[in-house]
Amino acid sequence: MATAGGEGSEGAELQVLGTWSSPWVIRVRVALALKGLRYEYAEEDLANKSDLLLRSNPVHKKVPVLIHGGRPVCESLVSLQYIDEAWAGAGTTPLLPSDPYDRATARFWATYVNDTFFPSWRALFKSTTDEQRAAAFESVVPAVEPLERAFRECSKGKAFFGGDVVGLSSTSCSAATSCGSRWSTRWPA
């Protein structure tokens, strides 16, 4: 298996097709790191997508795509769960808790980050005028509040949604917030 961060080419046992600015890509890379897995990373030019990307994700044509043994897994949350199941014994702890209710809760908040929190967060970070920033802020606050409440409840005063354990919700959420700071250094307002 190739080294993480190596040049992309077809045929590696485990590959990620990604782009540097994407929170969906970051979360998959975080999950692979938590499992201690080595993989080959291929940076995609989204304005000129590779044949490998178009073949691997013909429905959405988006990154990330995780390719394991030549078989593609698309959609970041699906990939996180695939990684957790395919390498169940690897890394420190599973990304998903063992209790079914706790699993459902983790999936709920990870989906909330995708569908509700991140779109408003992205609008805030991409705003370039005071007016746009003020408008984006109005929609970020109501999206952040439930997430903060859930975090307080689930973490029980610890560092992660899963308490001491980095799981699906924390991986999803931290990737979404960290890419805001990546964007602001790359595209300062």
Note the residues at the interface with ligand GSH (CB under 6 A). Answer: 19, 22, 24, 46, 61-64, 75-77
Q: Which residue from 122, 120, 162 is spatially nearest to 141, judged by alpha carbons? A: 120
- Cα–Cα distance measured from residue 172 to residue 23, given in angstroms and rounded to the nearest whole number: 8
Residue closer to ligand GSH by CB (options 19, 116) is: 19
Q: How far is the CB of 61 from ligand GSH (least distance, A)?
A: 6
Q: How far is the CB of 118 from ligand GSH (least distance, A)?
A: 9
Q: How far is the CB of 93 from ligand GSH (least distance, A)?
A: 23
- Cα–Cα distance measured from residue 166 to residue 160, given in angstroms and rounded to the nearest whole number: 6
Is 25 exposed, middle or buried (CB count within 10 Å of its CB: 0-12, 13-18, 19+)? Answer: buried
Measured from each CB, the residue nearest to ligand GSH is: 62
Tokens of 186: 């790359």
- E strands, 19-170, are 40-43, 65-68, 71-74
Residue closer to ligand GSH by CB (options 122, 133) is: 122
Residue closer to ligand GSH by CB (options 64, 162) is: 64
Residue closer to ligand GSH by CB (options 64, 167) is: 64
